[in-house]
Chains A and B, each alone.
Chain A
Amino acid sequence: MSPTAGAGNVPGVRIVVCVKHVPDIQSDRALGADGRLVRDGGDGTINEVDENAVEAAVVLAEQVGEAEVVVVTVGPDDAEDAARRALQLGADAAVHVLDDDVAGSDAFGTAAVLAAAVRRLGADVPVDLVVTGMAGLDGLTSLVPGALAALLDLPQLTLAADVALADGEITVRRDLDHATEVLSAPLPALVSVSDRANEPRYPNFQRIMAARKKPVETLTLADLGVDPATVGAAGARTAVVEAAPRPPRTDRVLVSDDGQAGARLAAWLVERDLVRPAAPPTGEVL
């Protein structure tokens, strides 16, 4: 890779990675009366697949040699933990957008704030690549990467299971429900990665110590020139009107196989009318 691989006229490549702070998937997560996630602090973590995004960025940076990886996160105080984690995983610097008016943002509000942060970073030194995880594993909407690419006017290569950078071109392989594709685009570009893209490294003691010295810049909406009315709950285009935990499953059966469990399960399924004559494939008609 030549030192002028990036789209900017500075040597090397500048990569921005967007990470989200979410409640730990292993914890008991809940929604409040306002339909928002209850964030009682403590058991939050970086959105898991965002670790794959950081890893992809750091690996590309290592390959290029001369490169900088900057992390951006948007969220309340403890969202800084997600940025810190990304620094431990090898990112060089972080930006935390912290503003009460961000609360309640939908995917488009979040994307608008991220876009403003990337633009601000790009005003100093051009950004060649934006990397995100494929989805927030809490809400699973997957809308942010596409919205962010549109707002930043970047080509988008999403759901990457494999990322490669060569001669100013980024190439990804992605597995869709009904096809596998290879996409390619010139830098600057946006890539979203899946959990198949890599195995995130483990932050060892040395990395944790090194991360402590890395800068985290805190910015507000005003710093970014974002009108608070366009983001947060004020700017949200959807509203949760009702939220309830799914009722627990009742009348559950747990048996140990005594040699006849398979046959008894068959009877149980038939009794509940869960066995239908094999229907024609519903994937396609005609």
Chain B
Amino acid sequence: MSTVLVLLDHADTGALRGSVLELATVARDLAGDGGAVHGLWVGDEPLDPALPVLGRHGVSVVHAATTGAADPRLTPVLAEVLVDAVTASGATVLLALSTFENKEAVARFAVATGAGVVTDAAAVERDAEGRVVAAKTVLAGTWTTRCAVLTDPAVVLVKAGAVPAREVDADAPALPAVSAREVAVSERATRARVVERTAEEPTDRPDLAAADTVVVGGRGTEGDFTALEALADVLGAAVGATRVATDEGWIGHEAQIGQTGVTVSPRLYIGAGVSGAVHHRGGMQASGTVVAINSDPEAPVFEIADYGIVGDLFVVLPQLTEALRAR
């Protein structure tokens, strides 16, 4: 029985990131009977449209924090808001999506509060002693560990897709109560300032980190992603890439999968013209089913592929897409 606080990540438009609802589900399990799930909304974006869906997912209170002139997208600012909200809510567990920004913010939160942190968690539960224990893969996805957080508060950053989001079992879930807070941010949090910010173009595709299916292109595409895009359309997949493809400018940097890019663990990963370098594998090795299409039978990606085709992606992909479309 405890209060679990969930950071309600949202886009610059105010649209809630879908995976936040998965966190609300995890939070309900951790809070237990009689416990509570609180949300933390940071920024001036309109919160009202998100309230019904948060209520349906068991969030009873939303702390809506504004930071005056301080830009809450600066992670030191966010860190101070987290300290304020954890104190205000009395939360013993803080959950947030495992993004670069959130890692930075919780690092500072942890310095301020002494909290222990697990990042990139694929699952979170309580052990017999009531400790928060998180599962994560390490060493480029080749090992699975379970990590207990020994502190109160405990912080866990959870990967998208960790659990399916579940609505609460009620006919008319209540709207969360909103508690507005203006946080007085210290001068030190704003010493680095945002000079320029360009938000990504909205796309019709699912979020790469959260997608059920990911279709990935590498150098073998030679910059032509049309066959991959067509396959992604049929599968409702996100499109990802290797660092070579993003460095070449064939697709945006946000599409890079790997150790220094996005980590994905979809049910289905399809890589075409991807060699399977260890840096890339680190970001996808925990995927459910791995399919690889590569013209080189020696390509290392075949070592980890459940289904490998030695062939030309420009022949195999259109045929695959056509066969799926014809179903």
Contact = CB atoms under 8 A, between A and B. Distances in A.
A239 B148 contact: yes
B146 A242 contact: yes
A31 B143 contact: yes
Nearest to B75: A146
Contacts of B285: 246
A253 B138 CA distance: 26
A183 B260 contact: no
Contacts of B116: 106, 108, 236-238
A142 B297 contact: no
B193 A184 contact: yes
B144 interface: yes
Nearest to A248: B304
A155 B50 CA distance: 33
B60 interface: no
A279 B147 contact: no
B11 interface: yes
What does DSSP make chain B's interface, helix, strand, loop or mixed? mixed
Nearest to A254: B308
B235 to A, nearest CB: 7
Interface stretch (B25-33, B217-225, B310-318): B310-318
A194 B236 contact: no
B138 A175 contact: no
Nearest to B290: A249
B207 A283 contact: yes
A123 interface: no
Given A156-B75, A237-B117, A263-B323, A189 B192 contact: yes
A251 interface: yes
**Residue from A138, A238, A267 having most chain B Cβ neighbours under 10 A:** A238
A182 B73 CA distance: 12
A268 B307 contact: yes
B100 A142 contact: yes
Interface in A80-136: 106-108, 111, 134-135
Interface stretch (B12-20, B62-70, B173-181): B12-20
A117 B242 CA distance: 37
A33 to B, nearest CB: 12
Contacts of B307: 252-254, 265, 268
B211 A145 contact: no
A147 B204 CA distance: 36
Contact of B197 (A142, A151, A179, A286): A179
Contact of B103 (A143, A161, A240): A143
B143 A30 contact: yes
B206 A241 contact: no
B319 interface: yes
Interface stretch (B35-43, B86-94, B105-113): B105-113
Contacts of A147: 107-108, 110-111
B213 interface: yes
B316 A261 contact: yes
B199 A108 contact: no
Contacts of A144: 107
A281 B207 contact: yes
Interface string B181-218: 00000001001111111111001111111111100000
A184 B143 contact: no
Given A178-B11, A281-B207, A257 B309 contact: yes
B44 interface: no
Given A106-B116, A237-B150, A254 B138 contact: no
Contacts of B260: 49, 134-135, 137, 194-196
B148 to A, nearest CB: 5
A159 B100 CA distance: 8
Contact of B206 (A137, A161, A176, A282): A282
Closest 8 CB pairs of A and B: A262-B319, A237-B116, A257-B311, A278-B236, A283-B207, A146-B107, A266-B323, A155-B191
Interface of B: 11-13, 15-19, 21, 49-50, 53, 73, 75-76, 79, 99-101, 103-108, 110-112, 114-120, 127, 133, 137-151, 188, 191-200, 203-213, 233-236, 243, 247, 253-254, 259-260, 262-263, 267-268, 278-279, 282, 285-286, 289-291, 297, 302, 304-312, 315-324, 327
